[in-house]
Structure 1
Amino acid sequence: MLYLCSSFYLCQWRKGRKHGVVLVAIIFIVFSLTSIPKYPSWSSTVHHYEEVKSISERSHSPQCEAVQHLMFLKTHKCASTTLQNIILRYGHRNNLTFVLPPSGNNLGNFDQFEPFHADLALPLPSTFGNEYQIFAHHARFMENNIAEIMPRDTVYITIIREPVEMYESIWYYFQLDLRYNVSLPEFARNPVQYYFNAAGQHTKKFGWNPLMSDLGLEETDFTNQSTIEKAIKKISNKFSLIMISGRMEESLILLRSLLCWDFQDVVAFHLNSQPKSYYTKLTEIDRQNIRAWNKADNLLYHYFLAKFEKQVSEYGSDKMGKDVIKLRDLMQKWKRRCSPKLFPTLSRKDKDYCHLLCVNELEFTNIVRSRLWPNYGFRSRYRGKGHRLEMDDINLCDEIML
């Protein structure tokens, strides 16, 4: 009844407009009235756990080769900046090449839902090699276009988040209350009305199934159950690991194992987070409405949560427990070292490491750009070894640690 009323309202307001919009609303009525299973009904019959075995086997292998061809799809408001920092640090320290935009930190115009294509990236820095090695910035996933520029043995990974938590974070981070001129609970009661009556494409930004949009699903397919299922299967086949932001420590352990990196390589501080003190409290009905509106994201999340549980189980509960404690202790060590009290006593190498642990995404991107394209005139406050770290950066570092 919720979406029937909102769609009727939409049709009344849009009387005389193109029939296509009305058709989308009608389709949504039928789609949203179906029940939302805790897990997709088809997930029990389609399993693609080849990647699970590879993570498990690598975790017990005494020898493995570190992965240096990596595509990390940076999703919005899923703790992806924290993961990106890990990947940028590894690539920067090992002099790897990156796919980067000429400015800013987005490979594409998200206001226009632009999918990634090679023209969005800086040309290959031939001075440092003949291939791109790491892709780790915001982009709408377009498999064929990414495959054109990345090596064939590239490992694909990403991170996702529980849909209501993610939508809350997106709503307040991008100030969607100002875009739609309504509170989140009110929007959740009549999403069709507010979304389709929004003026301008930029107002719709991240307003409907933002996670599946990042992963390349078109808005016209958000109400097509069959297309959503096919898209999730395709994602499952392509991505070796899809981490869960609410299970960050286990995610980092699986990541370290998959990539055959060291524990110190996956040390991380929580970056680009926002306080929840000003969030409007949601009722359980509000949460159900948000899940119904973002049904494609909900299906995606529960499918990969089940797969993640399988990967953790295959890794081994005892081994996972020990490795989580080891990683946690290492993070605490660097939290102490990078504090303003101990920082002056550190070696230059450790000071540089602290800086890169805490530096924001835009500045880190500038650091990498200035290294890879030295003749393009890119500038960074941080020029590498021998440059003193600003105390402001240390204070920030002290504030953002896990």
Structure 2
Amino acid sequence: MMTSLPDTTASPGTTTVTAPSSKKPCVRQGFNVLICTVLVAMTYLSIHSDVISVTPNIAQDVALPAASDDTGRSEIDDVAILPKSVMSEVDDVAILPKPARSKINDVAVLPTSVMSEIGGFKRKPGGPCQEKTRLAYIKVHKAGSTTVLYIFQRFGYRRHLHFVLPSRRDVNIGWPYLMKKEDYLQPIPGRPFDMLVDHTVYNREIFRNLLPNSTVYLTIVREPYSHLQSVINFFRLTGRYGMPKDDPGKFFLRSPAELERTYFQSDENKRTPFSKTRNFMAYDLGIPVALSEDEDYVRDYIAELDRDFLLVMVLEYFDESLVLLKRYMCWQLTDILYEVQNSLDYTNKGTDRLSQKLRDAHKNWSKADYMLYQHFNRTLWEKVANEGSDFYSEVKQFKYLNRVTSQFCIRHGKADASRQKVLKATAWNKRFVVDSNFCRLLNMKAPEYRRALKERYCQDVKTTIPASRHMELCTRFKGQREQLSV
């Protein structure tokens, strides 16, 4: 959603709310002088113009929920959360992002009837909405992103959607460099892409030239020190950096620049365009390494991401993030069921053992990642606060459905093809039958999905444009083994 305050007139395609005139407004209408003064002051401070313009983001067909005065609370230290005092207590209002807020409490509100027109959202809050099937997912490394990837792959596979797929035996589409045409299988004529979900470096212009305007943009972030620990463990940096196995994160933060310099001086890593330990999430989301320490640039870039992305999920609040995703995309709870993927056991998980000195050292070392996390952790709870009193009831129902589905698939998914589990309809989900086929899809790994999607792509090519470059590429895939997803 993009919100702007124009100087005089609204641009074409915008929804406008005309502010009350401030020209000698109310003494002649019988109001006393004190009330008139207050009204004039409020008009000046909160409007400061004759028109408020709310401009739809043509690149996203997003559904925005109505607001309520409920709010979430973070359990992560040093994270800014929107205070309850600034949340509106007026019924049927929606809170705008900070660029459009007034100087009073940094909050501006518009009636829900106006907000329902933003971003192409045409339904009434709580009413029916149309399932969204076009999305671009920026798969941030070591942020729980593989589990989300499987949700999207299953959703798209069941609906025969058209994926952007790597053109090579790889889990990446261009990454760690910007995506190029030769990095992905070309679209079938007459069928625009529906989903891009594999590892890429986000670039606004490239993505919008490739994907339809109705595509929504999604990603996930993670608490930065927890992210660093996961990176050190997964990429086996303990040995490469010469760090002890006992608490390597704390060891690393005592001299990160020196350890990085030694690592990048080796012939193997000289040409690596990024650092796995420094602003790694920011790199995946398109912040250039050379600008990742420029706070003004990073702040402006994050504001742009906030406008571009329908939702940035947070790993520490995974189920809450998925229920928001389900609501924004008009999906069913069964569409977001998951099994945790790429979760590795290692010692010293968490941030409670990190001293303030080392925490400050990490914030200084990976400044852009902290700025990203703090911003999108805050906006996650702003979105939750807008969802109404039944949000946590739906989260509870989702956790229940996920647990019973997982238990059924473990016990009966493979052993007995005739067994079924009926999930009854509730206020948040339709009746759904879990069977062996659904269990198979729930537990399929990314390489299996990628092979199945490529086979389906090649079958579609064979029936539409058999004598083509597309078909030549398909021939190469026969019998190929793919690498495991990160």
Normalising by the smaller structure, the TM-score range is 0.7 to 0.9
- Residue ranges of structure 2 left out of the alignment (5+ in a row): 1-76, 82-96, 102-107, 109-114, 420-433, 460-470, 481-486
Residue 171 (structure 2) aligns with: 105
Do 1:55 and 1:311's aligned partners in 2 also have CA atoms closer than 8 Å?
A: no
The 1-side partners of 2:233 and 2:122 are apart by: 41
Is the counterpart of residue 96 in structure 1 residue 161 in structure 2? Answer: yes
Do 1:141 and 1:215's aligned partners in 2 also have CA atoms closer than 8 Å?
A: yes
The 1-side partners of 2:195 and 2:455 are apart by: 16
**Shift in CA distance, 333/279, structure 1 to aligned 2, threshold 3 Å:** closer
SS at match of 2:453: helix
**Shift in CA distance, 47/361, structure 1 to aligned 2, threshold 3 Å:** farther
Do 2:412 and 2:436's aligned partners in 1 also have CA atoms closer than 8 Å?
A: no
Is the counterpart of residue 123 in structure 1 residue 195 in structure 2? Answer: no
Do 2:413 and 2:436's aligned partners in 1 also have CA atoms closer than 8 Å?
A: no
Residue 398 (structure 2) aligns with: 327
- TM-superposed CA distance for 1:59, in Å, is 8.9
- Which residue of 260, 264, 284 maps to 1:195? 260
After TM superposition, the structure 1 = structure 2 runs for residues 334-373 of structure 1, keeping only pairs within 5 Å, are: 334-341=405-412, 343-347=414-418, 350-373=435-458
Moved more, 70-79 or 354-363: 354-363
Give 2:452's aligned amino acid. Answer: I
The 1-side partners of 2:179 and 2:100 are apart by: 28
**Shift in CA distance, 125/352, structure 1 to aligned 2, threshold 3 Å:** farther
Give 1:338's aligned amino acid. Answer: C
- Which residue of 375, 382, 407 maps to 1:310? 382
Residue 92 (structure 2) aligns with: none
- Which residue of 282, 287, 290 maps to 2:362? 290
- Render the CA deviation track for 1:214-254: whole Å, top value 9, x for unaligned: 00111111211111111101101100111111111111110
Residue 57 (structure 2) aligns with: none
- Residue ranges of structure 1 left out of the alignment (5+ in a row): 1-35, 382-402
- Render the CA deviation track for 1:156-183: whole Å, top value 9, x for unaligned: 1111111111111111111122332234
After TM superposition, the structure 1 = structure 2 runs for residues 74-223 of structure 1, keeping only pairs within 5 Å, are: 74-102=139-167, 103-110=169-176, 114-126=177-189, 129-182=190-243, 183-197=248-262, 198-199=264-265, 200-202=270-272, 205-223=275-293
**TM, length-normalised to structure 1:** 0.76
Do 1:59 and 1:258's aligned partners in 2 also have CA atoms closer than 8 Å?
A: no
**TM, length-normalised to structure 2:** 0.64
Give 1:232's aligned amino acid. Answer: I
The 1-side partners of 2:346 and 2:323 are apart by: 27
- Render the CA deviation track for 1:11-48: whole Å, top value 9, x for unaligned: xxxxxxxxxxxxxxxxxxxxxxxxx97549xxx95469
- Across the aligned residues of Structure 1 and Structure 2, the Cα RMSD in angstroms comes to 3.2
Do 2:416 and 2:436's aligned partners in 1 also have CA atoms closer than 8 Å?
A: no
Structure having the larger proportion of residues in helix: 1
**Shift in CA distance, 291/379, structure 1 to aligned 2, threshold 3 Å:** farther
Do 2:413 and 2:439's aligned partners in 1 also have CA atoms closer than 8 Å?
A: no
Give 1:181's aligned amino acid. Answer: G
- Render the CA deviation track for 1:42-79: whole Å, top value 9, x for unaligned: xx95469979x879996943211111111111111111
Residue 388 (structure 1) aligns with: none
Do 1:336 and 1:342's aligned partners in 2 also have CA atoms closer than 8 Å?
A: no
Give 2:386's aligned amino acid. Answer: E
- TM-superposed CA distance for 1:372, in Å, is 1.1
* % identical aligned pairs: 24
Residue 399 (structure 1) aligns with: none
The 2-side partners of 1:178 and 1:308 are apart by: 37
Larger Rg: 2
**Shift in CA distance, 380/328, structure 1 to aligned 2, threshold 3 Å:** farther
